Amino acid sequence: GEDVEQSLFLSVREGDSSVINCTYTDSSSTYLYWYKQEPGAGLQLLTYIFSNMDMKQDQRLTVLLNKKDKHLSLRIADTQTGDSAIYFCKTGGSYIPTFGRGTSLIVHP
Amino acid sequence: DAGVIQSPRHEVTEMGQEVTLRCKPISGHNSLFWYRQTMMRGLELLIYFNNNVPIDDSGMPEDRFSAKMPNASFSTLKIQPSEPRDSAVYFCASRGVSGNTIYFGEGSWLTVV
């Protein structure tokens, strides 16, 4: 089966940039996704990137894709306390969605 | 849009009792997923339905767990008998015919004591 790997925790200071990384094994994904889970809630789609792109910017969010290395990253500029959440990487090649374990982003003052 | 609706939101039950979790997917969606989330194991896919038919139930932990989807607008996940190690957040999610985006419910927070 497909594997999606993420580090479990990331701690940053408010105002700094956060970079959350993900590696995956399935190279057939047409889209790759980032989901965000706020405390006490379900996962929500945050952003995505088409597999023929290497970068996508959406306000404070930048998604970088290195297809050769099967590496996806999410950069959050000017991280705020409201960005504290669990961030999940998801691939879409298989009909069965595969999520990473999630990276808990902790933002401290 | 109503989104994916799950009930109950919270349940505390005693070991050995039957637990039934309910899900109403987004209208028109034809794929439904049940996930379990714990600190130790992260987000695990339990079962996946397509057009009300179970396609992959390899994630169902054991025979105590069962899931049904009698129609396109309703699914249940049942645990009988429940055990303390079943304590987790159970998410239902759905996906449309032409989409890749998965929409999650708010989750059912289960505590078995």
Q: What is the pLDDT of residues B13-53, one digit of tens each?
A: 999 999 999 999 999 999 999 999 998 888 999 999 999 99
Minimal CA separation from B81 to chain A, in Å: 26
Tell me how close the Cα of A41 comes to any Cα of chain B, in angstroms: 5
pLDDT in tens, B56-75: 999 998 899 999 999 999 99
- Residue B101, chain A, CB below 8 Å: the answer is yes
Dmax (CA) of chain B: 42
Residue A93: the pLDDT is: 58
The pLDDT of residue A1 is 59
The mean pLDDT value for A8-35 works out to 92
Q: What is the pLDDT of residues A24-69, one digit of tens each?
A: 988 787 889 999 999 989 999 999 999 899 999 999 999 999 999 9
Residue B111, classed as helix, strand or coil, is strand
Residue position matching structure tokens 């039957």: B18
Give me the mean pLDDT over the A9-37 stretch: 92
pLDDT above 70: residue A94: no
Strand ranges (DSSP E) for chain B?
A: 5-7, 10-13, 19-24, 31-38, 42-50, 53-56, 65-71, 74-79, 88-95, 103-104, 108-112
Confidence of residue B1 (pLDDT cuts 50, 70, 90): low
Of A19-28, A83-92, B19-28, which one has max mean pLDDT? B19-28
Neighbours of A56 (CB within 10 A): 15
Q: Residue A8 has which token pair?
A: 């479990």
3-state helix, strand, coil in chain A (%, to 5): 5, 55, 40
Among all residues of chain A, which has the CA nearest to that of B10? A40
Q: How far is A99 from chain B (nearest CA, A)?
A: 7
Question: Of the candidates A31, A41, A92, which has its C-beta nearest B106's C-beta?
Answer: A41
Does position A76 have pLDDT exceeding 90, yes or no? Answer: yes
pLDDT at A9: 94
